[in-house]
Chains A and B, each alone.
Chain A
């Protein structure tokens, strides 16, 4: 498998407390990578480091063999153009309405698009999540779940080939959750690389190709999901069993894990 991202000895501190502690790993291209672990283990921070949103205090991040932090402005622009990021707390721009939130990435990356083309792209994604009536509302006028959906749509509106998702299915209802899963499957079908942070057993079971397990800022395991779920390592099994204990659908390996 081609390596999409490679992290080398990543350290990131907050007030001298290590959030990420010596993380080195490779993320494969064109597959679904799930980063999981207990709350506060540094999953979201790791995702932001991979996306080039946060700078580590030490270490290097490589995207297709190019160092993410020493790329030229043009290379960075190209990298951002082909990736989208859906935030855990939506992070919509509060002083812009939903249309502006969705159209800004298009304006920025595709200045050649006409107003009509941008409008139709925005309408298309809003129709997908049943939010057409909210196009000219401000984020504060939407529910938390709706904001989450808009954030997801903002991440995919430029048809990215890499999509980062931070807890994509929390705070949304079952119907919308199905839509998000469909969207993820479509992205995967189109050979997009998905890198997501989640503890959702259904998403992990149905989407995960490559699993990264973190504990207190340290890497416990990283590898193909099929291999990791058969791992006999106690820490790995402890994390996985806590993630899957509320799952409704299991395969044999997960059942074995839970029956221990």
Chain B
């Protein structure tokens, strides 16, 4: 498959997975492109699905992903985007990026992406964490921009962020207790002085 079209479809994947923030609770949205995605577990069982524009991939109903699984996607752009670049990012971290030559000037594609090839997802999608994802492809002939939410499906105890959060919260509580127990009445210099003079 044309590499550029694959990249376009990955952006469309993000479009299917996410929403424009202002419409996050309504439906998946995308500008300049459309598509759908079906997420599957590492065992190949269907996990979730979303379309953009359409249902799924919202903050209230994020697209569930198995970081070790795959996603089957279809996508299309309103115009053939050639000679550009593409990227998919989450929390300001670029997960995937590349050039988008698209010399064949295709406007649609489909395929499957192995999420296990994106190590950052294993950390970001631990537990039930839901994260905003955005994707863009820009080049000659147009552009495609999308954003929305995806969520993890792993167990809490397997999530590093769970343990980090627990330790930090416990440390904060202990410090809070020490603030309570450490607040004591002390004699001022004047009190000590007057006390000394009296004696």
Do A and B pair up? The answer is no
Please give the residue numbers on chain B whose beta carbons come within 8 Å of chain A beta carbons, in ascending order.
none
